[in-house]
Structure 1
């Protein structure tokens, strides 16, 4: 008898292939789980695609508010910038994805959970560790780590399995949520090449930004922003507003060499207008209200 597996499903090529691969290798019944973290995907179409590929059941979870209050807020309080540059936008969502995967797996009586992370990055560790800490009885399957297919081989597998392949509109691999947008692949694989303008969607290039400044008045309560320009907004709306305003003025582009947990270096490009704006404002607020010794101690703790 095969396994019942809860799969973190994005609707893209990798996790679509995962459905068929799990069915083939493990004789698995697959339950797909898609979280709305503000990535602006067509979630209804993702659900339809999951059922088309043979998912037994599909869950769509609106986790935007929980993502902000449970993960982004603590990151703001900690001035969370990995290696002083990256506001952990993609990273913050992975434990929440893992948590919801476990909830669905327990509800469905699943034997395992699965995800589409590769063996190269930090996300695999975040999901694996979170799942095991929440329910050690669940097996964790990472098909992309196991199948060892090249991209071309994966495309061939998809065609042979009758998986519809959408023509890609971009040469980039993109992962995004409310807190930021991660851009990889294509010419960005070469650290000596400057990102082309078509890599960006949220941030206006500095040379194209308005000549007149934009002003943003952020009000904080207990370490997190609650009002913008005197208007109280809910957590999701506030971040969306700051993303739009900051991005329109050329704020938010990050390009740096990142150290991965597994010991490799990776060139990473991000767009994080709201994250950089809010964290910078929070750091300045701390300078206003904390002593020099408190600031030095907090800075050392944040780096660890």
Structure 2
């Protein structure tokens, strides 16, 4: 709801009619729009800020354009990236807001993705499709708090985050200006580096690829990873899936309740902590890496490299328990609904009606998915050694089942 202390600034959730009008006229797509009065630089501006090259350069350009009240928003969703955000914002004279959203992300976005078996076209688990809706939601909350009629991000048209962030901001009804100035006005990486180096921000300028990190995934793209036909990934980029010096051989047991992972080896953990632990335990076997092509809005494909050890094992575990607890026809239908769910999330419609409808169907199946899956992990891969369901549909003694089945049929015929 709009903050009345903000006067006439359109920062809240207006009527649907007014919302459509403001959104169509308030999409920011270039630096020229900003610098030529497309937004009021005397009013507060919220920018999404990761500490990376693009988001730091946006702060610099806003400063150069004369923006007087810039609020850089950093949302902590886990992951291992720790840039010195305070150093950057102090150098650029903007205010930093940090929000710890790890538990919100795990419970409200990762848990539904596990239940939906959110894998893109059977190639890799999705990640930024989960984080962008939450980031957009927190951005609107921040904008309302500081009375900012503008929310900016840094996605460009070769990044799917462009439609995911814009789509989430639109569906959430943000009535002010929003968007990315990189959409219609990309800036060469070398130019951004040169200008930031002139400010003494050498650490930011030296980054060779774009990255996105949260507790579910570490993802790399662009830079020297642009070309799918030649994309040897340096080992130095990986952190979670680095094999131990000596080969490991271990058992690990994952427990689910109503489709949600709740424990490792019998020890209950909040989901964020559980995922963090699995990233390291599974990753030290060198497991959980993936590369895949994902489509942009026009169907063009781009390369993305990921390491997701926890996601890799949790999704396989959830599917194993589904097989043990759900009717085969239900699973067949769920496979179709899962890809509808994934498509809506990918296209920036997390808050849309169809994904919510798919989620309702998936939730109706999750109540049966309770039990444990035990894995044997080695550098060669992972194999189940035990699947125990609270309400199983499997038999544990085939011969006994055959005798009982035959006897039941004979008794029926008598």
TM-score normalized with structure 1 length = 0.91
| Ranges in structure 1 where 5+ consecutive residues have no aligned partner | none
TM-score normalized with structure 2 length = 0.68
Q: Quote the Cα distance in structure 2 between the aligned partners of 1:156 and 1:21.
A: 13
Residue 34 of structure 1 corresponds to 74
Residue 257 of structure 2 corresponds to 221
1:278 and 2:314 aligned: yes
Runs of 4+ in 1 over 6 A off after TM superposition: none
- Any residues of structure 2 matched to 1:174-213 within 5 Å, and which? 174-193=211-230, 194-204=232-242, 211-213=247-249
Q: Quote the Cα distance in structure 2 between the aligned partners of 1:168 and 1:5.
A: 24
Deviations 1:219-260 (A, max 9, x none): 101101001011111111100111111101121010222222
Partner of residue 125 from structure 2, selected from 87, 93, 105: 87
Return closer, same or farther for 1:297/1:220 CA change in 2, 3 Å cut-off.
Answer: same
**Aligned partners of 1:258 and 1:266 also within 8 Å:** yes
Q: Quote the Cα distance in structure 1 between the aligned partners of 2:268 and 2:119.
A: 26
Partner of residue 143 from structure 1, selected from 152, 173, 181: 181
Return closer, same or farther for 1:237/1:139 CA change in 2, 3 Å cut-off.
Answer: same
1:131 and 2:147 aligned: no
Q: Quote the Cα distance in structure 2 between the aligned partners of 1:302 and 1:95.
A: 18
Q: Quote the Cα distance in structure 1 between the aligned partners of 2:298 and 2:103.
A: 31
> What is the aligned residue count?
299
Q: Quote the Cα distance in structure 2 between the aligned partners of 1:49 and 1:157.
A: 14
**Aligned partners of 1:210 and 1:249 also within 8 Å:** no
Structure ID, larger Rg: 2
Return closer, same or farther for 1:225/1:32 CA change in 2, 3 Å cut-off.
Answer: same
Deviations 1:10-69 (A, max 9, x none): 1122111111212334735211110111123336x31342132121x3211000000000
Alignment RMSD (CA, Å): 2.1
